[in-house]
Amino acid sequence: MPELPEVETVRRGLLPAMEGKAILSAQVNRPDLRWPLPDRMAERLTGARVDALRRRSKYILADLSTGETLLIHLGMSGRMLISGAMPGVFHHDHPAPQKHDHVVLEMEGGARVTFNDARRFGAMDLMATATAEAHPLLSVLGPEPLGNAFDTAYLQARLAGRRTPVKAALLDQHLIAGLGNIYVCEVLFRAGLHPATQTGDLTPAQVAGLVPIIREVLAEAIEAGGSSLKDYRQADGELGYFQHSFRVYDRAGQPCPTAGCTGTVTRIVQSGRSSFFCPVCQR
């Protein structure tokens, strides 16, 4: 599933086509994705201007001139793809309609934005912008890891007294919004922490060290356009490149990349998810 860097990359790719532009027409080709789509969705989108295009955790939020916000979640295989003319950016001819093109937005300026999702685990919803943060999918989220509310004091307070593996804690969307399996594996490697380490056993210095490392890993991944492993593509159809910078994720059996380390990257399963780490560097 796309994590924060992939969703942020898609959002940035969509900006030239959507922000400040009107939706000239909306085509909704099915009644549901993961959940039912909003009533009269095409009608409510058509004619609306996208005043702002922002991200919350793994969700893209398009604030509309109608006072509603369009929530977009890519799910496992969803893609927001742009075709057509965008002066000064790129021009991709409109492709022939595809089987899994579920929502198509014709934008002012000539761009077409298509939500394609073969597995239909993605989602879209419309909600009042004024109360968007109260939406059930958003109200439970922790702070953004790249935002000011996420700092050492916050993380130390939230981890204090908890007895849970640090890997599970960092994946908890109630604690930190947007982190997923790939980037938590990479964070813990750089922090020198075994994924099964209990949060209650972390020293204050180790907790404090996690904050800049989380920011560093996410910033590098965004700069690389995210990670393309299976379905993920940027809005212009290009692949992300951060997968070429993985130090441990999906590298089981390979030598640890730390200079001088004799360890081998190991895979274990925690709560049904693969954790990759170096048992020598991460204790």
Catalytic residues: 2-3, 58, 273
- How far apart CA 245 and CA 222 sit, in angstroms, is 12
Q: Please, are residues 45 and 72 in contact by the beta-carbon 8 Å criterion?
A: no
Cα–Cα distances in angstroms (integers) from residue 30 to residues 42, 127, 188, 262, in the given order? 11, 19, 41, 54
- How far apart CA 75 and CA 94 sit, in angstroms, is 24
Count of alpha carbons within 13 Å of 220, Cβ hemisphere only?
15
- How far apart CA 109 and CA 51 sit, in angstroms, is 15
| DSSP calls for 35-59 | SBPPTTHHHHHTT-BEEEEEEETTE
Burial of 163 (0-12, 13-18, 19+ CB in 10 A): exposed
